[in-house]
Amino acid sequence: MPIITLVNETELGRVLDKRDTVLVDFWAPWCPPCKEFVPVFEAAAARHPDITFCRVNTEEAGDLAQAFDVVSIPTLVAIRERIMIASQPGSLPEHVLEDLITKIKGLDMDELRREMAAAAEGDQES
């Protein structure tokens, strides 16, 4: 599956409606580490057709970057079943990205939702 370029939250919403796991690379054209990360991201996209890979140019889609609290680039955001699983700044080496993907795929989402609900209940009691 090709890498999808996103420019707004509506486009991201459409992707999330159709796909279970989404990785989003926030980048800018002037950023050297962003350029270094491109081949790593593209290679992972080729190896993992079950995951949707997206890119967001922060120069063109600042609102989307702001919605994810991106403060440095590149930043990789992992979303599974509409839950943000990870936000990792910096250019990741291939083995680190593969490790992250393995962890994302191995998550027990029902358990994660239970933990999130328990944490939310604890916050309400405080």
**Is 34 annotated in the active site?**
yes
Domain CATH code at residue 59: 3.40.30.10
* Strand ranges inside the chain, DSSP E: 4-5, 21-27, 52-57, 75-80, 83-89
- Check 3, 31, 96, 104 and give the catalytic one: 31
**Is 31 annotated in the active site?**
yes
Query: What pLDDT, on the 0 to 100 scale, is given for residue 86?
Result: 94
Query: What pLDDT, on the 0 to 100 scale, is given for residue 126?
Result: 58
DSSP H or E run through 74: none
Cα torsion angle, 108, 9, 88, 53, sign: positive
Domain that holds residue 88: 4-125
Question: pTM here?
Answer: 0.91
- Check 23, 24, 34, 78 and give the catalytic one: 34
Per-residue pLDDT for the chain (126 aa), expressed as one digit of tens each?
689 999 999 999 999 999 999 999 999 999 999 999 999 999 999 999 999 999 999 999 999 999 999 999 999 999 999 999 999 999 999 999 999 999 999 999 889 988 888 888 877 765
- Judge contact between 22 and 16, C-beta under 8 A: yes
Count of domains forming the chain: 1
Query: What pLDDT, on the 0 to 100 scale, is given for residue 7?
Result: 93
Number of H helices, E strands in the chain: 5, 5
Query: What pLDDT, on the 0 to 100 scale, is given for residue 125?
Result: 67
- Beta carbons within 10 angstroms of residue 7's beta carbon: 13
